[in-house]
Amino acid sequence: MQDQLKELAVALYDIGAIKFGEFITKVGLKTPIYFDLRVMIAYPQIMSRLAKALWQLAKTETDTIQLCGVPYTALPLATLISAEYNMPMLIKRKEAKNYGTKKLIEGNFKPGNHCIIIEDVVTSGSSVLETVYALKEEGLIVTEVLVVIDREQGGRKNLENKGIKMRSLYDVTLLLDYLLDHGKVTPEIVKDVANYLKSCQAPILSLPENIANERLKTPFSIRANQTKNAVASKLFQLMEAKQSTLCLAADLTKINSILELVELAGPHIVILKIHIDIIEDFSFDFLKRLKELAKQHEFLIMEDRKFADIGNTVLLQYKNGMYKIAEWADIITVHPIAGPAIIDGLQSALNGVTEPRGIFLVAEMSAKNALTTGDYVQRAVSISEKSDMVIGLVCQSDIIPNLGMLQLTPGVKLHNNCDNLGQQYNTPESVVNSGADIAVVGRGIIQATDRLGAILEYKQQLWVAYKKRLLR
């Protein structure tokens, strides 16, 4: 085995999977050594030998083994092991699908099955833990991870603290010894890397096993104290007091039609969502009346403007123009497409505004084939965590890692269907189970024969689903 590992180490170096220089790891650490095992897919013989060597580390004795490779580099290794040793394989997606079954874990399995995780390189262990938590949510038992390279920077300890045994083919020290023996590196490089490992350790991971799950099981009354934004805190309190998570989308074009609907729905909603620029007979008297109704019935006003431009432009759009949105809208919606600077621009527009304001960032859309997927979603989450002005995300799935943040989900109807313009609808219970704290209902109420009856039905179904979610 040792001779085999020496040969594989040299082979990995020769194909460029081991690099020396100045690099940044996933967790933000500078490093003089970098491992890029993705190149192995161009060398199937090396990849096959590596997979077989990795599987020799497995110690689990059970008839219900599943394999799961951490996406994406470890997937080919897991696939080869699965095929060679007839082991069923699971795939964890980077993000849940927003269509079809919306699964995060793909495969054929049962709760109680044991699953072994396959990983290429471990620094802090965060990627492995993300996979572990997703698998455990499906009832799988995970106690072991097989790793090609342990960077010796704290990952093993982080995993063991969570009850995960890590078995690795190499650690950095052993790998460098092999390369030094074959003249691939100099003693100076070995020394530099050794000094680096002593001085630069990854952070200790102390996150709960599934903070998203914790969010879904925590009552609004407790989460109200976990936010730094006054609008978010008020919203949590309103939801609890009114026993409602209903946001009414009053996407109507006439003032009287909107006010008539709000008079009916006001006592039962927590947010009124409007598009100010589609109103054909707009006047400031309308805004005055709307604010009076919001105070009377205790709901917040959201202008669904979906700002999506550079900082200076959104500043002007928010503060100036004929609508002067910053003066009256408690909440606005924003596309994060322009990056963090868009938040800075909107924040600057609030000079002189004394009432608190909040933003929902649009991370995912309910439209069919929307481009808000993958890395874009993760970047939106990252931006949301850096500003106290952001109170939550507009999204279709459970992606929020913060108790104090709200998930607003549009596209809700009592029955699943789709309109002829690509809008996809989901039931109240399904969106709540997918993480929604607040559900946006528009045409399901506006087009109802009995609007008040529809309002009460949505309100009840959403609240019942929320209470059930707390007990899951």
Residues that are catalytic: 304, 306, 309
Q: CA 181 to CA 357: how far, in whole Å?
A: 63
**In the block, which residue shows the tokens 């572990």?**
132
Please provide the distance, in angstroms rounded to a whole number, between the alpha carbons at the two ends of the chain.
47
Known binding residue 397? Answer is no
DSSP 431-463: HHHTT-SEEEESHHHHT-SSHHHHHHHHHHHHH
Q: Cα–chain-centroid distance for residue 350?
A: 29
Known binding residue 339? Answer is no
Taking alpha carbons only, the member of 423, 422, 426 closest to residue 458 is 426
Q: CA 168 to CA 170: how far, in whole Å?
A: 5
**In the block, which residue shows the tokens 């996406």?**
71
Known binding residue 345? Answer is no
Q: CA 341 to CA 432: how far, in whole Å?
A: 31
Q: CA 260 to CA 451: how far, in whole Å?
A: 11
Q: CA 420 to CA 415: how far, in whole Å?
A: 16
Known binding residue 450? Answer is no
Binding residues: 251, 273, 366, 423, 442-443
Binding residues for substrate: 251, 273, 366, 423, 442-443
